[in-house]
Amino acid sequence: MPFKPADNPKCPKCGKSVYAAEERVAGGFKWHKMCFKCGMCQKMLDSTNAAEHESELYCKNCHGRKYGPKGYGFGGGAGCLSMDSGDHLKSDAN
Ligand SMILES: [Zn+2]
Ligand SMILES: [Zn+2]
């Protein structure tokens, strides 16, 4: 078989394997450094301003514009904390 399933996680953006040297973690997914950008304004992101939504990445501005702060606020609500169980932190540490 020329194709063997890689152990590496797949980038949700381009579907290719992500290696540790180029990985960025958001929303429980691993992304390429190059793919780690906003799907709306194409701004390059880092872990502090990235917002993941259904395996799409947005900057916090675009994410707020597109989905609104309904479920949770960027500063106020603690609603995201119940969903964010720290999985990304764990995978980051690995
Ligand atoms: Zn990618
Ligand atoms: Zn954006």
For the segment 21-79, what is each residue's pLDDT rounded down to a tens digit?
999 999 999 999 999 999 999 999 988 899 999 999 999 999 999 988 665 545 544 44
Ligand nearest, relative to CA of residue 37: 2
Q: Is the pLDDT of residue 87 over 50?
A: yes
Q: State the distance from the centre of ligand 2 to the C-alpha of 19, rounded, in angstroms.
A: 25
Q: Where are the alpha helices (DSSP H) in the chain?
A: 60-67, 79-83, 87-93
- Distance (Å, whole) CA 92 – CA 94: 5
Q: State the distance from the centre of ligand 1 to the C-alpha of 7, rounded, in angstroms.
A: 15
